[in-house]
Amino acid sequence: MKKIRVLIAKPGLDGHDRGAKVIARALRDAGMEVIYTGLRQTPEMVAEAALQEDVDAIGLSILSGAHLALTPRVLALMRANGQGDVPVFVGGIIPADDAEALRGLGVAAVFGPGTPMSAVVDAVARATARPADA
Amino acid sequence: MNPEPILSGDRRALARWLTALEAEQPEAQDLLATLYARAGRAHRVGVTGAPGSGKSTLVAALAKAWRARGQTVAVLAVDPSSPFSGGAILGDRVRMQALAGDPGVFIRSMASRGTLGGLAATTADLARALDAAGFDQVVIETVGAGQSEIDVARTAQTTIVIEAPGLGDDVQAIKAGILEIADILVVNKADQPGVEATVRALKSALELESAARVSGEAAPGWSVPVLTTVATAGDGIEIVIDALAAHRIQMQSSPIGQQREIQRLRRELEARLRQRVWQRVEARLAPDTLDLLAAQVHQRVIDLESAVKSVLASTHTHTE
Ligand SMILES: Nc1nc2c(ncn2[C@@H]2O[C@H](COP(=O)(O)OP(=O)(O)OP(=O)(O)O)[C@@H](O)[C@H]2O)c(=O)[nH]1
Ligand SMILES: [Mg+2]
């Protein structure tokens, strides 16, 4: 049986990856394979890792405030790579208007700081469920 | 599956093929069979050692050096799965960031559990796929922790075992089984204290080892070098690259080197056959058969050997 593979990436310049690591562990504990790429990723690096790792979903952790600049670039690169159908999640401190804008761009869901881990895991599991599992 | 995109360098197609091979999909395995004749050009290098010894950092440094020599590099980085959830955190890419953006490098992370055919078989298939896709160097990183990881290292043509300083002079501290598989020993983190003592310990362990060394495992005329590196700074990397190339030439040019490769393939063949035969038996068993038999053995209604015979008889795999 194929395992769900999720890329957890931290694009941008902020140096805090606590939140990203907590999410990575929660997804692992839910039985998923989490590819963790570390700090200070460019959108190009995120898209390249997603391509090589053939992931089923991507989680971007962005605390720098640059979510409106970084996310569309990741989405555009993924489309160019033929991975436009891979769900992308964004986590971070993101104002409601921006979250709306991100969803408008095609982001599957936006998670704020207080989001329970179970909600994150559920959202990823649902977005990556294959027809056969339903 | 269509081989054209993969052979023409389509990275998405390659990535998807690797996923399908990991899931042991028959079409993916058929494609590997089709392309098998094209594989065998790459140098398959295993890198193993204790957690945190610097494997990924060293692999990244080796990859940089190969790229500078115009060679392309694929990395297969295996990390352990959680025995509790079956999930995994695969974090080796963190140390390989410097390779990003280079179309001559392809990095793939893989979790150690959850493959039907066993880790070594699946890893070997993925390594062969990367070989067939045309990479010059195919590096497999595994944590040298258990037998299955050691088996993975043995699927490589040349295996590097990494130690970090701090072993002291204690030969006993060297993990059992790990020296037997080393073609090249690297003491990484040579910027830290205790390097000389660790080198000494490894050399003396190698002397003990060489007498007992599994015959045919080491190439004749090859004495395992103990090299020191600072992977974070790139120090000592060229010497490792040269040693890898020298070992490969040694293996290819000597009849005993060829023999070792044939032995390796024989082991792989046997492991796959075992797996396949077991799968056949398992597929014909009712789900609780073994539980019921174990309970009967426990109650001394039947003995183990008779239980085995009854299973073989009922699954028609008894060929005597
Ligand atoms: N001082 C020093 N640190 C190093 C050296 N090589 C690697 N490190 C550090 O050691 C740590 C572990 O390095 P990795 O390359 O991730 O080690 P690894 O063996 O791949 O680790 P796992 O895959 O988790 O088993 C990192 O913090 C590296 O920066 C070195 O030569 N000197
Ligand atoms: Mg590593």
Nearest CA in chain B to A7: B90
Q: What is the CATH number of the domain that holds B179?
A: 3.40.50.300
H-state helical runs in chain B: 3-7, 11-22, 26-35, 55-68, 119-132, 147-154, 195-212, 237-253, 255-284, 289-298, 304-314
Write out the two tokens for B20.
Answer: 């399908």
**B263 and B294 together in one domain:** no
Q: Report the alpha-carbon distance of residue A31 to residue A55 in Å, rounded.
A: 15
- What pLDDT score was predicted for residue A1? 65
Q: Is B90 on the interface with A (CB under 8 A)?
A: yes
In a domain, residue B28? The reply is no
Of residues B153 and A76, more confidently modeled: A76
CA atoms within 13 A on the CB side of A65: 0
Contacts of A132 in chain B (CB under 8 A): none
Is pLDDT above 90 for A81?
Answer: yes
Check whether residue B151 and residue B292 sit in a common domain. no
Please name the residue that has the structure tokens 């959108």: A43
Please tell me the distance in Å from A119's CA to the nearest CA on chain B. 18
- Are residue B264 and residue B299 in the same domain, yes or no? no
ipTM computed for the complex: 0.94
Dist. CA B44–CA B124, nearest whole Å: 10
* Residue B235 CA, closest ligand 1 atom number: 31
Are both B246 and B314 inside the same structural domain?
no
Q: How many CA atoms lie within 13 A of A67 on its CB side?
A: 27
- How far off is chain B from A20, nearest CA to CA, in Å? 12
Residues 6+ apart with CB under 8 A from A41: A9, A10, A11, A12, A49, B97
Q: In the predicted model, what is the mean pLDDT of residues B204-213?
A: 72
Specify if B33 maps to a domain: no
The mean pLDDT value for B6-30 works out to 95
Is the per-residue pLDDT at B225 higher than 50?
yes
Based on the domain organization, do B220 and B304 belong to the same domain?
no
pLDDT at B235 exceeding the cut of 60? yes
Phi-psi sector, B71: left (phi>0), alpha (psi -120 to 50), beta? beta
Element (H, E) at A70: helix A67-80
Share above pLDDT 90 across residues of chain B, in percent, rounded to a whole number: 59
Q: Which pLDDT score, from 0 to 100, does residue B317 have?
A: 54
- Top pLDDT among B213 and B93 is at B93
Q: Which residue has the higher pLDDT, B246 or A113?
A: B246
Instruction: Please give the residue that has the higher pLDDT: either B221 or B206.
Output: B206
* Residues A7-35, mean pLDDT to the nearest whole number: 92
- Which of chain A's residues have a Cβ under 8 Å away from the Cβ of B111? 3, 33
pLDDT for residue B320 is more than 50:
no
Q: Is A118 on the interface with B (CB under 8 A)?
A: no
**One domain, residues B175 and B305:** no
The answer on B310 and B216 residing in a single domain is no
Q: CA-CA distances (angstroms) from residue B268 to B17, B78, B148?
A: 21, 19, 13
Query: What's residue B210's pLDDT?
Result: 66
Same domain for B256 and B116: yes
* pLDDT, averaged across chain B: 88
Return the pLDDT at B19: 96
Residue B59 near ligand 1, beta carbon < 6 Å: no
Task: Determine, yes or no, domain membership for B43.
Answer: yes
Q: Is residue B197 part of a domain?
A: yes
Q: In the structure, what pLDDT confidence band is assigned to residue B215 with cuts at 50, 70 and 90?
A: very low
- Look at residue B17 and tell me if it is in a domain: no
**Residue pair A8/B94 in contact by the 8 Å Cβ criterion:** no
pLDDT confidence band for B172 (50 / 70 / 90): low
Residue B295 domain-assigned (yes or no): yes
For a ligand 1 pocket test, name from B59, B79, B232 the mutation site with the most ligand atoms within 8 angstroms of its C-beta: B232
Q: Which ligand is nearest to the CA of B53?
A: 1
Does B87 touch chain A if contact means CB atoms closer than 8 Å?
yes
Please report whether residue B32 resides in a domain. no
Task: Flag whether pLDDT at A43 surpasses 80.
Answer: yes
**Given phi > 0 = left and psi -120 to 50 = alpha, else beta, which region is B234?**
left
Residue B123 pLDDT > 50: yes
Q: B254 in a domain, yes or no?
A: yes
Cα distance from N-terminal residue to C-terminal residue, chain A: 15
Q: What are phi and psi of A111, to 5 degrees?
A: -115, 125
Work out the average pLDDT over B202-207.
Answer: 86
Over residues A99-121, the pLDDT tens digits come to 999 999 999 999 998 899 999 99
Query: Are B253 and B297 within one domain?
Result: no
Yes or no, beta carbons of B93 and A83 under 8 Å apart: no
Beta strands, E only, B83-232: 88-90, 105-111, 137-143, 158-163, 184-187, 226-228
Please list every residue in chain A whose beta carbon sits closer than 8 Å to the beta carbon of residue B81: 33
Chain mean pLDDT for chain A: 92
CA distance A57 to A108: 10
As a whole number, mean pLDDT of residues B234-248 equals 97
| Chain B environment of A78 (Cβ under 8 Å) | none
Confidence label for B216 from pLDDT (cuts 50, 70 and 90): very low
Domains: count for chain B: 2
- Do B151 and B223 lie in one domain? The reply is yes
pLDDT > 90 fraction of chain A, expressed in percent and rounded? 80
Give me A122's structure tokens: 């559920």
Cα–ligand 2 centroid distance for B207 (angstroms): 29
**pTM reported for the whole predicted model:** 0.91
Neighbours of B58 (CB within 10 A): 28
Are B262 and B291 members of one domain? no
B193 and B228 Cβ atoms separated by less than 8 Å: no
Q: Do B15 and A53 touch (CB under 8 A)?
A: yes
Ligand sitting nearest the alpha carbon of B98: 1
CA of A35 to the centre of ligand 2 (A): 12
* Residue pair B272/B117 in contact by the 8 Å Cβ criterion: yes
What range does the domain containing B304 cover?
A: 286-320
Q: State the pLDDT at residue B207.
A: 82
Which domains does chain A carry?
Answer: 5-127 (3.40.50.280)
B108/A1 touch (CB, cutoff 8 Å), yes or no: no
Tokens 């030969």 locate to B171
Residue A55 pLDDT? 98
* B68-95 pLDDT per residue, tens: 999 999 999 999 888 889 999 999 999 9
What is the token pair recorded at B194?
């205790």
Can you tell me the mean pLDDT for A3-22?
Answer: 90
For residue range B90-109, list pLDDT tens digits in order.
999 999 999 999 999 999 99
**Do residues B186 and B310 share a domain?**
no
A/B interface, count of CB pairs below 8 Å: 84
A119-133 pLDDT per residue, tens: 999 999 999 997 654
pLDDT at B144: 76
Residues B41, B157: Cα–Cα separation, whole Å: 12
Query: Which pLDDT band, with edges at 50, 70 and 90, does B171 fall under?
Result: low
